[in-house]
């Protein structure tokens, strides 16, 4: 018996074109991509909702397809922005002890640090938990609203370019972990209350995560600016650099480079390089800066606790020991992993990758690429300690009865975290897939070929 023909899904009248048909149905030619991690040139296959295309050589995700991507991202971004507005409008956390108490809102976790001469730490806190996420959400709303109306709004391409640069620095989810650690640290000493803002911020962190995951960059860029033809002579199943090509890390388009290995993306105008210029040198410099900052971050107190007129400075390791003595083993392990294991592990991992990159063996390139992905992912979670300090300093303000002040290690530790994150961004994983150079040539590897 013949199988009945498949019917196309029924579309609602007036449904926006951006949500109606994916890029594959609006072009009859292959769309090429060069993997950002191994430089392999591939042709994107047709994708349906819930599917994703991965690089066949290293497994890096090239594109992810979602159902009704514009409407989905717009709805999540609007909900997240409303949750953030609620989070900054109501009390966040309160505590009381011996007849004294204090109640703070979300913004005080940053503003209180300024009063303790820690403006840089305060700026880092407010940017990562509030300002940058808000800018990101407004940008998503602006872009998707323009696409749904069938005409991109002004400056859409520039705004779309900024999204990928903002993403690593949004740390609402890390702040939630910091808040939970702070609550456990003071729960045994005082009565703690959670305000509406706390729950609103938890919802905001979840919605922000869902918004970033729902953004279909491939579909969005195709809807914004179409897709120019791939450079003539482009071959799939080969590396891009030997062909004089490079894939844009922002919009994905494959472009032809000039004779010096540089160029500009024809679609989003992002700078392109066959390999990131001086990648290894910059990574080494940032790792050295992070290693220098790691010493004062652990030798100096990260906060000073005053109780009944007696002050007690506490280092990161001292705080972990204190949690263990209180019986909070799970929290102590979280702080130990985030503040000790992760920074040291990331420094060692990136240093090792810089050493082996100039003489990389392709047989081990995949495992080294996976190690790089892990170090890139975990780096931001070291900010947990900074958020713990910010919350406790703002909340525990009962004079000589009990108060907490930030220590000099807070700035050093924050600088170390930022340095390691930048080091991961400047390292070019494509170097690990290149043909090894002679020993003397390897000293300058990382510069454009």
Cα separation, 316 vs 319, in Å, equals 5
Please name the residues in contact with 225: beta carbons below 8 A apart, sequence gap of 6 or more: 157, 251, 267, 268
pLDDT of residue 17: 59
pLDDT band at 399 (very low <50, low <70, confident <90, very high): low
Cα separation, 295 vs 116, in Å, equals 22
pLDDT of residue 98: 66
pLDDT band at 8 (very low <50, low <70, confident <90, very high): very low
Cα separation, 321 vs 336, in Å, equals 10
pLDDT of residue 135: 96
Please name the residues in contact with 54: beta carbons below 8 A apart, sequence gap of 6 or more: 60, 61, 62
CA end-to-end span of the chain: 60
pTM: 0.87
The answer to whether residues 227 and 130 touch, using CB atoms and an 8 Å cutoff, is no
The answer to whether residues 57 and 40 touch, using CB atoms and an 8 Å cutoff, is yes
pLDDT band at 264 (very low <50, low <70, confident <90, very high): very high
> Taking Cα atoms as reference points, which of 200, 179, 173, 176 lies closest to residue 87?
200
CA torsion through residues 357, 361, 365, 371, sign: negative
Please check the confidence at residue 310 and state whether its pLDDT lies above 80.
no
> Taking Cα atoms as reference points, which of 67, 63, 62 lies closest to residue 50?
67
pLDDT digit string, tens, across residues 223-249: 888 888 888 888 998 999 999 999 999
* Higher-pLDDT residue of 333, 21: 333
The answer to whether residues 402 and 189 touch, using CB atoms and an 8 Å cutoff, is yes
Cα separation, 291 vs 419, in Å, equals 9
pLDDT band at 398 (very low <50, low <70, confident <90, very high): low
Burial of 259 (0-12, 13-18, 19+ CB in 10 A): exposed
pLDDT digit string, tens, across residues 105-162: 899 899 999 988 889 999 999 999 999 999 999 999 999 999 888 888 899 999 999 9
Q: Where are the domains of the chain?
A: 17-65+227-266, 69-215, 277-449
> Taking Cα atoms as reference points, which of 93, 425, 103, 56 lies closest to residue 276?
425
pLDDT band at 11 (very low <50, low <70, confident <90, very high): very low
Please name the residues in contact with 352: beta carbons below 8 A apart, sequence gap of 6 or more: none
pLDDT of residue 438: 47
Q: What six digits make up the tokens of 11?
A: 């579309």
* Higher-pLDDT residue of 301, 398: 301
Q: Is 244 left (phi over 0), alpha (psi -120 to 50) or beta?
A: left
* Higher-pLDDT residue of 19, 175: 175
User: Average pLDDT in the 342-370 region?
Assistant: 87
pLDDT band at 18 (very low <50, low <70, confident <90, very high): low
Pick the CATH number of 277-449 from 3.30.450, 2.60.40, 1.20.140, 1.10.287: 1.20.140
CA torsion through residues 423, 428, 433, 439, sign: negative
pLDDT of residue 439: 45
pLDDT of residue 69: 86
pLDDT band at 174 (very low <50, low <70, confident <90, very high): very high
pLDDT above 90 covers a percentage of the chain that reads 43
User: Average pLDDT in the 332-337 region?
Assistant: 84
Reported as type and span, the H/E element at residue 53 is strand 52-54
Please name the residues in contact with 20: beta carbons below 8 A apart, sequence gap of 6 or more: 11
Burial of 315 (0-12, 13-18, 19+ CB in 10 A): middle
User: Average pLDDT in the 274-282 region?
Assistant: 92
Q: Which residue has the tokens 């191994």?
A: 38
Q: What six digits make up the tokens of 104?
A: 């703070």
pLDDT of residue 46: 86
Cα separation, 363 vs 373, in Å, equals 18
Cα-based torsion angle of the residue sequence 183, 207, 413, 124 in order, rounded to the nearest 10 degrees: -110
CA torsion through residues 64, 67, 73, 74, sign: positive
pLDDT of residue 400: 62
Please check the confidence at residue 190 and state whether its pLDDT lies above 90.
no
Compute the chain's Rg from CA coordinates: 25
pLDDT digit string, tens, across residues 350-363: 999 999 888 766 67
pLDDT of residue 28: 62
Q: What is the DSSP string of 135-149?
A: HHHHHHHHHHHHHHT
């Amino acid at each position: 018996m013949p199988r009945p023909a498949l019917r196309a899904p029924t579309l609602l009248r007036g449904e926006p074109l951006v949500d109606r048909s994916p890029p594959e149905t609006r072009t009859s030619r292959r769309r090429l991509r060069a993997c950002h991690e191994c430089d392999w040139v591939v042709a994107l296959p047709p994708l349906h909702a819930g599917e994703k295309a991965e690089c066949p050589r290293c497994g890096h995700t090239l594109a992810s397809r979602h159902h009704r991507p514009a409407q989905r991202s717009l709805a999540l971004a609007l909900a997240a922005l409303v949750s953030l507005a609620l989070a900054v409008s109501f009390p966040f956390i309160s505590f009381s002890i011996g007849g004294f108490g204090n109640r703070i809102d979300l913004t005080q976790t940053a503003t209180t640090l300024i009063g303790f001469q820690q403006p840089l730490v305060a700026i880092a806190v407010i940017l990562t938990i509030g300002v940058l996420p808000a800018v990101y959400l407004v940008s998503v709303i602006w872009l998707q609203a323009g696409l749904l109306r069938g005409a991109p709004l002004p400056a859409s391409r520039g705004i779309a370019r900024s999204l990928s640069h903002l993403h690593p620095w949004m740390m609402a989810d890390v702040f939630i972990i910091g808040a939970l650690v702070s609550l456990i640290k003071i729960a045994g000493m005082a009565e703690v209350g959670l305000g509406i803002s706390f729950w609103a911020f938890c919802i905001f962190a979840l919605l922000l995560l869902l918004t970033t995951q729902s953004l279909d960059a491939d579909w969005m860029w195709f809807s914004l600016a179409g897709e120019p033809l791939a450079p003539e002579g482009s071959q799939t199943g080969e590396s891009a650099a030997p062909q004089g090509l490079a894939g844009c890390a922002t919009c994905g388009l494959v472009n032809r480079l000039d004779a010096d290995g540089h160029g500009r993306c024809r679609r989003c105008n992002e700078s392109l390089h066959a390999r990131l210029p001086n990648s290894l040198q910059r990574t080494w410099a940032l790792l050295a800066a992070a290693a220098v900052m790691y010493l004062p971050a652990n030798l100096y107190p990260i906060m000073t606790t005053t109780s009944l007129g007696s002050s007690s400075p506490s280092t990161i390791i001292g705080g972990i020991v204190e949690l263990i003595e209180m019986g909070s083993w799970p929290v102590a392990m979280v702080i130990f992993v985030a503040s000790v294991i992760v920074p040291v592990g990331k420094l060692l991992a990136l240093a090792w990758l810089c050493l082996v990159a100039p003489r990389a063996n392709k047989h081990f390139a995949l495992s080294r690429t996976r190690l790089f992905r892990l170090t890139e992912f975990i780096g931001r979670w070291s900010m947990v300690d900074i958020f713990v300090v910010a919350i406790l300093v703002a909340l525990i303000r009962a004079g000589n009865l009990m108060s907490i002040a930030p220590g000099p290690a807070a700035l050093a530790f924050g600088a170390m975290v930022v340095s390691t994150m930048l080091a991961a961004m400047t390292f070019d994983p494509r170097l690990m897939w290149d043909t090894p150079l002679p020993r003397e040539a390897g000293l300058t590897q990382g510069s454009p070929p």
